[in-house]
Amino acid sequence: MSDATLDMPVGGTAQRAGNEPLVAADGTPLKQKLAQTTRRMKLRALMLTMPLVLFVLIAFVAPIGDMLFRSLYNPTGSNVVPAFAEAIQQWDGQDLPSEETVKIFVEDLAKARRSREIGRTVGNLATRLNYELPGYRSLVTKTARRAARITEGPYKEALFAIDKRWEERIVWTTLQRITKDYTLAFYLAATDRKYDADGSIVQADELYRIYVPILWKTIWVSALITALCFIIAYPVSYLLSTLPLRISNLLMILVLLPFWTSLLVRTSAWIAMLQTEGVVNNIFVYLGIITDESRIQMIYNLQGTIIAMVHILLPFMILPLYSVMKTIPPSYMRAARSMGASGTYAFMRVYFPQTVPGIAAGTLLVFILAIGYYITPALVGGNDGLLISNLIADHIKKTLNWSLGAALGTILLVVVLVFYWLYNKLVGVDNLKFG
């Protein structure tokens, strides 16, 4: 605008008179000019937020979208045996597929056998079938090795001769299902269920149920950690907020120092403290509380996971509590007491309600962080201290069943959102106060 003012003819302002609309230096009406300028400023503001928007899109929305997609979309079947994938959909699921369909299957297998392209090999189809019918992997690879030699019918008989499992209807119903690109099978597996021969959904065998129990365990362990953090943090925060600033700052550093220390260092420190040859056990033995033979197993189990995680997540509870308590004037409590309320009554009716926003923020933070925690359980969880995120990592890194990993990840995300919604209903997100 300053440029415009400079260019303005000297007499410009003197010309203004009567009902003529106000004009800017370049002659456009002032209203229009203003709209133009605000638009430009809005655009500039938008441009300034673009890096953040892009970052969120690339680093957050896209990966989560990809995860959701992968958990439902698995084109392995139609990639490996494309012609069969179309033909088998005509089958009504009774008896066995027609001779013609089986012929297409044999031809497709022979073709796929020559493929070395990732995602289109016989091995990929075999692995995909094996996810839903454990133990049937070699049925596909073995048959594919001989498929090229089957040049004339009857094709069904030829398959039966290779392996009599081809006579089982469930093999064909499963093949029919996995040659569709979109599937719910991974969500079923993630909730300990599966399809039977007729395509109905049934519970997995009891010995193979693993994900639902672990999910429940993750939820209650996170709730327990949150409760423990609250019980420890509340008095500490109260102390911090009421002590003179000089002392409370010193104590605050004791809270913040571990907060700034690397997660790995703190977890390893707990290993050094709690292991059977560790500091705590040594002290117990020295004091004669336990004998050298009966050292207590305190880490590499669920107990170790809980202890280490409570310690690591504690600052996330203390900091919001402290910042809220700091704003509560001590005169409120004194007023309540002076009007005859007992100490407990004044605390419950006057002090505690004012700390609720801090409690809300602290518990939400700790619970959500705990439910997806990975490193600490992986390091100190042993066998029974593992949580759902460790199983997800296992499927991404070891078994390579990325679709199942994605389905489990999506379920975890939904669980967190449900808890957030519940929380909003109970406490109200507007009541949160992080400080």
Partner 1 sequence: MKLKNMLLGTVFGAAVAFGATAAMADGHAKELTVVSWGGAYTKSQVEAYHKPFIEETGIQIKSEDYNGGIAEIKAQVEAGNVTWDIVDVELSDAVRACDEGLIEPLDPSILPAGADGTPAQEDFLEGTLHECAVANIVWSTIFSYDTTKITGDVPTTMADFFNTEKWPGKRGLRKGAKVNLEFALIADGVPAAEVYDVLATPEGVDRAFAKLDTIKDDVVWWEAGAQPPQLLADGEVLMTTAYNGRIFNAVAGEGKPFEIVWDGQVWDLDLWVIPKGAKNKEAAMEFLKFSTATEQLAAQASYISYGPARKSSAPLVGKFHNADIDMGPQMPTAPENLTNAVQNNFEFWADNADQLNERFNAWLAG
Residues that bind partner 1 (CB under 8 A): 115-118, 120-124, 126-127, 130-131, 134-138, 141, 207-210, 213-214, 383-384, 386, 391, 394, 397-401
Give CA–CA dist 10/8, Å, rounded. Answer: 6
Nearest to 76 by CA among 400, 391, 397: 400
Please report how close the Cβ of residue 191 comes to partner 1 at its closest, in angstroms. 14
Please report how close the Cβ of residue 225 comes to partner 1 at its closest, in angstroms. 18
* Backbone CA torsion sign across 205, 208, 213, 215: negative
CB of 76 or CB of 179, closer to partner 1: 76
CB of 98 or CB of 141, closer to partner 1: 141
CB of 52 or CB of 118, closer to partner 1: 118
Please report how close the Cβ of residue 38 comes to partner 1 at its closest, in angstroms. 27
CB of 357 or CB of 409, closer to partner 1: 409
Q: The tokens of 435 are what? A: 């400080």
Q: Where are the beta strands (DSSP E) in 209-279?
A: none
Please report how close the Cβ of residue 90 comes to partner 1 at its closest, in angstroms. 29
Q: The tokens of 211 are what? A: 């994900």
Give CA–CA dist 396/150, Å, rounded. Answer: 38
CB of 243 or CB of 378, closer to partner 1: 378
Please report how close the Cβ of residue 109 comes to partner 1 at its closest, in angstroms. 12
Instruction: Provide the 3-class DSSP secondary structure of residue 268.
Output: helix
- Say how many C-beta atoms besides its own lie within 10 A of residue 47's C-beta: 9
Residue 405 exposure: Cα atoms within 13 Å on the Cβ side:
17
Please report how close the Cβ of residue 229 comes to partner 1 at its closest, in angstroms. 24
Residue with tokens 């992986």: 378
Cα→Cα distances 70→125, 185, 241, 309, Å: 17, 12, 49, 31
Cα→Cα distances 188→51, 66, 71, Å: 39, 19, 11
Please report how close the Cβ of residue 404 comes to partner 1 at its closest, in angstroms. 10
Contact 105, 171 (CB under 8 A): no
Beta-ladder partners of 201 = 195
Beta-ladder partners of 195 = 201
Give CA–CA dist 422/69, Å, rounded. Answer: 26
CB of 28 or CB of 141, closer to partner 1: 141
CB of 199 or CB of 213, closer to partner 1: 213
Please report how close the Cβ of residue 110 comes to partner 1 at its closest, in angstroms. 15
CB of 163 or CB of 328, closer to partner 1: 163
- Say how many C-beta atoms besides its own lie within 10 A of residue 21's C-beta: 10
